[in-house]
């Protein structure tokens, strides 16, 4: 079980955009940019793929940002700080190839896919 340490609602209007900070030490240590997790918000629920928006290997946490548009993401959005997510599997997928450059870099994302870009630029 994966404990929700913080919950933030980015957009309260329908469809809501929510961020969960989840305790997931093994995932936080192994995750690389561009990878995702599969979340099952309630026992017997649907599998939801979500990009890892941020991670902190030292505290063992990952951030998940999602739009509440279907039954499963709405169930996930109803969970509160202190509650637990039954299943979070990952990190999955091929990490994004990143090189170091001198000068300006342009990052492009769309919709909720902007969350990982926002987090990496904030550092």
Determine contact, residues 20/6, Cβ cutoff 8 Å. Answer: yes
Alpha carbon distance 51, 68 (integer Å): 14
71-120 pLDDT per residue, tens = 899 999 999 999 999 999 999 988 877 777 787 777 776 665 565 555 55
Residue 30 has a pLDDT of: 93
Q: Whole-prediction pTM value?
A: 0.81
Residue 113 has a pLDDT of: 59
66-85 pLDDT per residue, tens = 998 888 999 999 999 999 99
15-32 pLDDT per residue, tens = 888 999 999 999 999 998
Determine contact, residues 39/50, Cβ cutoff 8 Å. Answer: yes
**Tally of domains within the chain:** 1
* pLDDT higher than threshold 50 for residue 8: yes
Assign residue 40 the CATH number of its domain: 2.40.30.10
C-alpha pair distances (Å), 99 with each of 61, 96, 119: 25, 10, 18
The boundaries of the domain holding residue 44 are 2-121
Average pLDDT over residues 49-57: 91
- Non-local CB neighbours of 84 within 8 Å, separated by 6+ positions: 1, 2, 3, 4
Radius of gyration of the chain (CA): 14
- Non-local CB neighbours of 70 within 8 Å, separated by 6+ positions: none
């Amino acid at each position: 079980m994966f404990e929700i340490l913080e919950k933030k609602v980015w957009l309260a209007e329908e469809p809501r955009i929510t961020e969960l900070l989840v305790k997931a030490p093994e995932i936080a240590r192994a995750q690389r940019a561009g990878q995702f997790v599969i979340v099952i918000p309630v026992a017997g629920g649907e599998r939801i793929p979500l990009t890892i928006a941020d991670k902190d290997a030292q505290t063992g946490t990952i951030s998940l940002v999602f739009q509440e548009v279907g039954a499963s993401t709405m169930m996930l959005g109803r969970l509160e700080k202190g509650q637990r997510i039954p299943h979070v599997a990952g990190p999955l997928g091929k990490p994004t190839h990143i090189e170091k450059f001198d000068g300006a870099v342009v990052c492009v994302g769309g919709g909720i896919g902007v969350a990982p870009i926002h987090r990496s630029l904030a550092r």
